[in-house]
Structure 1
Amino acid sequence: MPHGNHFTYRPARDELAYTFGGRIPVAHVHSGDVFTVHTEDCFGGRVRGPADLPSQVCAMPYLNPVSGPFFVEDAEPGDTLAVHIASIEPARDWGVSATFPYFGALTSTPHTATLQPPLDERVWMYDVDRAAGIVRYRATASEHTVDLPLDPMIGTIGVAPAAMEARATIVPDYYGGNLDTPELRAGTTLYLGVNVHGALLALGDGHARQGQGEACGVGVEIATVTTLAVEVIKGDLGTAWPRLETNTALMSIGCARPLEDAYRMAHHDLTAWTVELCGLDNLDAYQLISQAGRAPIGNVCDPNYTVLAAIDKALLPQPRAAYEDAHIRLRNLVGRKR
């Protein structure tokens, strides 16, 4: 693709990817490029009504497709890739959610069986009203409805893992993946450590909204039209785990089981990042995050759980700009190109 041009990528169904790593790039991009990507929902658009049970209309492992990967020129192992989410627009006027027999936080699984029947497989359809900014929930066993705020997010985004691995898109880990956090909304910059030449960025699995933790394992799943800006930040900057930056906050992400390990990873990384940016003593940073931080949970259902550690920038003592001010630079770039 020509450097500096805004292009749009819309994959055909057979061009969707189901792994991070192990795929040929669909396009080449450069630092400073702004581009728009069409993504599918986690069911690949196959669940379109209450009768479309995922177990019947979807085939494993063809769940959670992503669009890409995009080869980022000049990205080398050890660098950091900054990905600014400029906008996330629902591509359809409906979304879908579901429960599965052995999936989600409140059920037994094939690995941890208990003496209770499996959950029913059931589908919920949601109206997505972009003009009104709402998502309409409808109960399936009563007449109850409620309008919830539309809060689009990207559930799955990441780069190729190291060591020639290919990892299923349902897994979150150090390279990103199925992070499933509502914090990955428009206006957020995601920082990912680069593991292979070209980074190989891919994304998909949009949600019209999702509660913290994604308890049933499925958000309000939507196809999206998502616009991104990217920048390669050279040098080994210690981006071992995904990090997020907004206008007001810094966040670190940990992915692991059990949940307490994900919590520890996130808070360990945020403490180190705060020390690096602000020059605080390590225990002083730990104390501040302990009393003023937040710990939004991404998911408690995927192969790894996702926990974030967050701190408001206003509470930090004259923080040095993170990643050479990439968040502000990419935010301003997107504003100029609109």
Structure 2
Amino acid sequence: MIEFRPTVEQYGWTFGGTEPIRRVRPGTVMQLWTDDAFAGRLRRADDRPSQLLDIRYTNPQTGPFYVEGAEVGDTLALHFVSITPSRDWGVSTTLPLFGALTGTTRTATLQDPLPELTWVYEINQEKEIVTFAARDSEHRIDLPLEPMLGTVGLAPALKEVRSTAVPDYFGGNMDTPEMRTGSTCYLGVNVEGALFSVGDGHARQGEGETCGVAVETAMDVTLIVELIKGGAPAWPRIEDDENLMVVGSGRPLDDAWRVAQVDMVGWLQELLSMGKMDAYQLLTQISKSPIANMVDPNFSAVVKVAKDVLPGIQAYGGMHAHLRQLAGALH
């Protein structure tokens, strides 16, 4: 077991282009701490992001970690044993020229930018609630605490260096609520050692992350690292006890949706030993397609297939079930 809490100087701000901070072996249990997307700089309702943030330094990553034996074309499996807030508060904001329901630098309009505002949420882990407090009224609404990680990713191929704001084939800022306790994420290895990083904890987030900012907070993360030789997926895959999922990212949104659908067609071909057109037809009847986020430089879409309609399948040789068993033994 490895415990690691980065100093501010050790935060990663990109996927790729950063030297690994630790080497780990497959099978390692890691207890990590991740800072929030704003690195703790926003704490009060009167804080203004434009005064306190440098947009180049958001979504700080814990990592990257070099996985021994990982080679290009392999599959890295990260199983999330637990993801729990390490603070009793979180923040959300609206940012000028950012979000799904405003003009942006990529969708330019003549409308004025929306106002720059900050909301502070109370987090009660004992009651498992997150409390929304309205700014312009006395409304307070208790919401379920549903911790997740917004960013999980590897170094990209071709020596690329990508911002932690961007989701793509290597993972990154996918912002899907499916990246939660009990999930296993499968990522294709692009460089020797894989170089994985995690961060951007959300106490909760609705599908789509409409304004662009969830309930951002620091997290304590326990995960298990495993390596599958070969079989690298083209796009990030997630498995939990109920579903198989693929996350596609791109712009426009329909392209993100398409790449996720195409990869799921391929996955069904592998799992069921069926032809492409049969897999396409089957997926049409059984899939669900939640939007992960519609606000990053790339959008992210998820395709989900319930495992109970595909009895007896074993993705990656039953890796998820194996890691769930190991996770259970840790408690």
TM-score tier (shorter): over 0.9
- Measure the CA separation in 1 of the matches of 2:234 and 2:172: 14
Amino acid at match of 2:110: L
List 4+ stretches of structure 1 deviating above 3 A: none
Consecutive unaligned residues of structure 2, counting only runs of 5 or more, are none
- Out of 122, 130, 134, the position equivalent to 1:127 is 122
- Out of 287, 312, 323, the position equivalent to 1:330 is 323
Q: 1:27-106 residue pairs with structure 2 within 5 A? A: 27-106=22-101
Q: Normalising by the residue count of structure 1, what TM-score does the alignment of the two structures yield? A: 0.96
- Measure the CA separation in 1 of the matches of 2:106 and 2:291: 23
Q: What is the aligned-residue identity percentage? A: 52
Superposed displacement of residue 8, structure 1: 1.0
- Measure the CA separation in 1 of the matches of 2:274 and 2:131: 46
- Out of 297, 304, 320, the position equivalent to 1:310 is 304
Q: Normalising by the residue count of structure 2, what TM-score does the alignment of the two structures yield? A: 0.98
- The superposition leaves residues 197-216 of structure 1 with CA deviations (integer Å, 9 ceiling, x where unpaired) of 11011010000000000010
Consecutive unaligned residues of structure 1, counting only runs of 5 or more, are 1-5
Superposed displacement of residue 289, structure 1: 2.0
Aligned to 1:210: 205
- Measure the CA separation in 2 of the matches of 1:187 and 1:17: 25
1:258 aligns with 2:252: yes
- Out of 1, 10, 16, the position equivalent to 1:15 is 10
Amino acid at match of 1:62: Y
- Measure the CA separation in 2 of the matches of 1:221 and 1:229: 24
Aligned to 2:148: 153
- Measure the CA separation in 2 of the matches of 1:316 and 1:165: 38
1:288 aligns with 2:282: yes
Aligned to 1:191: 186
Amino acid at match of 1:318: G
CA contact (8 A) 2:187 2:232 kept: no
Aligned to 1:3: none
- The superposition leaves residues 91-128 of structure 1 with CA deviations (integer Å, 9 ceiling, x where unpaired) of 10001000011000001012332121110000000000
Amino acid at match of 2:160: E
The two structures, once aligned, show a CA RMSD in angstroms of 1.0
Choose 105-114 or 77-86, whichever is displaced more.
105-114
- Measure the CA separation in 2 of the matches of 1:142 and 1:179: 33
1:165 aligns with 2:163: no
